[in-house]
Structure 1
Amino acid sequence: MTASRLARARSVLADTRPLKVSAFRRLWLADIVTVIGAQLTIVSVPAQIYAQTRDSSYVGLTGLFGLVPLIVFGLYGGSLADAHDRRRILMFTTTGLIVTSALFWGQAAVGGINVWLLLSLFAVQQIFFALHQPALQSSLPRLLPPELLPAANSLLMTVAMAGGIAGPLVAGTLIPVLGFSWMYAVDTLCLLATMWAVINLPAMRPLGEVTVAGFKSVVDGLRYLSRHPVLMASFVVDLAAMIFGMPRAEFPQIAHESFGGPSEGGFAFAWLFAAIPVGAVLGGVFSGWVSRVQRHGVAVLAAVAVWGGAVVVFGGAVALANGRLDVLFWIAFGALVVGGAADMVSAAFRTSMLQTAATDAVRGRLQGVFLVVVAGGPRIADVVHGAGAEAFGAGRAAWIGGVLVLVSVVAIAVLVPSFRRYRLSTEAAKS
């Protein structure tokens, strides 16, 4: 390959410059390992609950037992990250995740004692995860220069989405052969990679005035957010994209009614669920251009508009489908792939904006809010789209949702011009 062709390839493929920073490289390599283990647990918990109870209502309780800890401890974890050394927090939370995973293994090894014990362990695990994420995300600006944050976030999200594809396939294949206890055991061992990466991080004590973690600190963080329309708009545009435009609750009905799959799953069902992660992985692999973009606000709006347009195309294909697996299915699948790539781009830039536009003193708390928005938006979407599919039909509900995403993009661009004009400043890039 000539030098010019190599340069062109590098400009298109993922920007790997953040991996030259040893601390981030260790975190990223550990993430590759731990995301595999995490996905094994994510798949195994609901599968084990159903195996023990044969009742889907108990499986549905995982949403409640997972969301409440994420909301409460995500916000509190953000205040902790702004008040204490983030490395020490990460060591504590990683230890908690390892112990919880080992307890998952223990209960499965003795035959699954009680479904409520399993749900309680799941809630405890989500508490440690909610405390972990704000400290981790708010640490990245201390490890990397601002101009490399979009690339770093793209690399992390690509690994997460790849795990979202591979994890369920691996777990679905191995659970019948090895059982649940081995899935949890692998997750426990994989988490040791994260501990290795965290131990080797530098100390990251608070800069400037030290806050006291607690309710008042959380409220102060929310007040800071309310005074910064750029940051507020980044959350609003994500909520609009997810609540209006995430049609995953309709996938079972669409796979069965629109594309003729069996009611219990099948080819169309599996590929619809895989489409968005596939798009996100492709978006991450070919994300070399993100580091060259300075106008982050415009990039987010454009990416969300592409997401909304993709959902419109998806809904139109579903509405026209005639109960057969034909070309309309592949149009719907392709639209979701495009939407997944756009969502990855939007998330990378929104995360980078949050990491650069906020001061270090409040980054942890804002990352806590970010975690709540990211976790809560899709769950609200499940309720909205489930009801919409019942009222209007699955295809029409998805189509309407996509249109509402596009309307929201225009509204935010008009009502919050500072968000549209936001760019990574030269001063920030040098800091």
Structure 2
Amino acid sequence: MGSSLRGHLLDTRPLRIPAYRRLLGSSAVSTVGSQLTAVAVPVEVFRITGSSAWVGLASGAALVPLVLFSLYGGSVADVVDRRRLMLVAVLGIAATSLGLAVHAASGRESVAALLVLVVVQQSFFGLYAPARGAAVPRVVPVALLPSAMALSTTVFGVGAVAGPLAAGVLIPVTGLPLLYAVDGVALLGAAALVATLPAMPPTGEPGRRAGVRSVVEGLRHVGTSQVLLVSMVADVVAMVLGMPRALFPQMATEVYGGPPDGGLPLGVLYAAIPLGSLLMALLSGRLVRLRQHGLLTLVAVAVWGLAVAGVGLTTSLWVAAALLVVGGAADLTSMVFRGAVLQTATTDELRGRVQGVFTVVVVGGPRLADLLHGVGGELLGPRAATSLGGVLVVVATALLAWRAPAFRRYRAPA
């Protein structure tokens, strides 16, 4: 019984690799830090302006450089030492966090200065994310890549829960300047971990340069590979059509009877998906050993769609929460296998650029979903918009399975 249970738990074999432990540790620190900042910046913007529109503008201002620098950062990651690029990027993120601390302590209350710091910080993160993703296969054997993806996703899930909770508790106690400063100092610790990684010089033809042509080559490579393209389209389908996050405040009040300012129903809705992802990650030991990555990705996305469709059909908060937990587990499954597909179906000389495109998809999808579901909720009501989105996910996934046999049959290398 004990041996069987251990076989189902999160596979920790990649942690036996010292370089991966240090890489994961640096990612853990940067993830929690980014979540602290993600809460602190909107709080500060709202304190200064008293306007939610300015909060939305700050989010939009951060998205543009993140998209541009993720694409460019993927190009750079293929022509320079990835360890060095990660180190520069993490130091840049740390410097901007310390800059945010100085700004908050100065009492200037300048939204313009705040937005400039956020734009610079997200630009550095755009450089960091593709290099970090492309570094994993340099330190982890192919057979352990799904396990490494599950570990990375677990760390992100814990950070996505712990970071906002910590920010919510600390902001009234420490104030914004100290919170930003703690983030900056912690990121210096992450930089120290990155500095201990082995060198990761570029592979492939010497003399290649980063730039627009290199970015276009990466986009063309993704577009001409059915396996890579469908792995990203599957994520777009799941997140753009099926992520009802923007409807949670309205549903919490109108469907589940919560107070206008949020309350328990809102907290339950927001927590359910990451909880499902975290539980699935902790029980992913058997899952990561499966090799039918293409088929399992499509099945997971379809389960996500069915769960979301069910949320719109129920008026019970706890049934909706249970369905969102199932959806979160399916989303984690999809993330693990899609990530493994991107790592194994790409050569190392293109891996940075592919990770750059992947970062854009991951970042942009939920934001497009917020816009789409927000409009849909106004036109159709929150329950109908949620269910329709889930049904569209299932239909689109079935079309992908039919039209993309190469992806459906894709298996991880032995």
Using structure 2 for the length normalisation, give the TM-score. Answer: 0.98
- Pair 1:131 & 2:127 matched: yes
Aligned equivalent of 1:187: 183
- The alpha-carbon deviation at position 112 of structure 1 amounts to 4.4
Residue in 2 aligned with 1:45? 41
Q: Deviations over 1:146-203 (max 9, x none)?
A: 1111111111111111121122222112211211011101101211231122111111
The 1:165–1:129 alpha-carbon spacing in structure 2 relative to 1, beyond 3 Å, is: same
Deviation at 1:384, TM superposition (A): 0.6
Distance (Å, rounded) in 2 between the aligned partners of 1:339 and 1:132: 29
Number of equivalences: 413
1:105 aligned residue = 101
CA RMSD across the alignment: 1.1
Aligned to 1:325: none
Match of 1:29 in 2: 25
How many Å apart are 1:137 and its aligned residue?
0.3
Pick the aligned partner of 1:121 from 117, 121, 136.
117
Distance 2:126 2:215 in 1: 14
Structure 1: which amino acid aligns with 2:258?
G
**What amino acid is the match of 1:173?**
V
1:376 aligns with 2:364: yes
Match 2:375 to one of 384, 387, 401: 387
Structure-2 residue corresponding to 1:240: 237
CA displacement, residues 337-388 of structure 1 (integer Å, 9 cap, x when unaligned): 1111111110111111001101111100010000000011111101110011
Residue 326 (structure 2) aligned to one of 322, 330, 338: 338
* Alpha carbons 1:90, 1:198 under 8 Å: kept: yes
State whether residues 93 and 132 of structure 1, in contact with CA within 8 Å, keep that contact through their aligned partners in structure 2.
yes
Which residue is equivalent to 2:14?
18
Q: Is the 8 A contact 1:52 1:112 kept in 2?
A: no
2:273 counterpart of 1:276: yes
Corresponding residue SS for 1:209:
coil
Instruction: Say which of 302, 312, 315 aligns to 2:312.
Output: 315
1:264 aligns with 2:271: no
Alignment of 1:293-308 (within 5 A): 293-308=290-305
In the alignment, which residue of structure 2 is the partner of 1:201? 197
AA partner of residue 195 (structure 1): A
Kindly provide the CA deviation profile for residues 104-146 of structure 1, in whole angstroms up to 9, marking residues without a partner as x: 1110111243011111111111000000000000011111111
* Selected match of 1:290 from 287, 290, 295: 287
CA-CA distance at 1:207 after TM superposition: 1.1
Instruction: Please say if residues 300 and 334 of structure 2, whose CA atoms lie closer than 8 Å, have aligned partners that are also in contact.
Output: yes
- Letter in structure 1 aligned against 2:409: R
- The ranges of structure 1 where at least 4 consecutive aligned residues each deviate by more than 4 angstroms after the TM superposition are none
Between 285-294 and 243-252, report the one with greater CA deviation.
285-294
- Structure 1 position 92 matched with structure 2 position 92: no
Unaligned runs of 5+ in 2: none
Give the superposition deviation at 1:265. 1.4
* TM-fit CA distance, 1:270: 1.3
| Mapped partners of 2:26, 2:362: distance in 1 | 22
Which secondary structure does the structure 1 equivalent of 2:154 belong to? helix
Is 2:89–2:128's contact at 8 Å kept on the other side of the alignment? Answer: yes
Q: Which stretches in structure 1 are left out of the alignment for 5+ residues?
A: 322-327, 427-431
In structure 2, what is the Cα distance between the partners aligned to 1:207 and 1:30? 24
> 1:380 & 1:363 partners in 2: Cα distance?
25
Q: Distance in 2 between matches of 1:106 and 1:41?
A: 14
Indicate if the aligned counterparts of 2:104 and 2:176 stay in contact, CA closer than 8 A: yes
Residues 376-414 of structure 1: CA distance to partner in whole angstroms, max 9, x if unpaired? 111110111001111111011110110110011110111
Counterpart of 1:370 in structure 2: which amino acid?
F
3-state DSSP class of the match of 1:83? coil
What amino acid is the match of 1:340? G
Aligned counterparts, 1:409-420, within 5 A: 409-420=397-408
**What's the TM-score, normalizing by structure 1?**
0.94
1:156 counterpart residue number: 152
- Whichever residue aligns with residue 244 of structure 2, its letter is P
CA contact (8 A) 2:26 2:194 kept: no
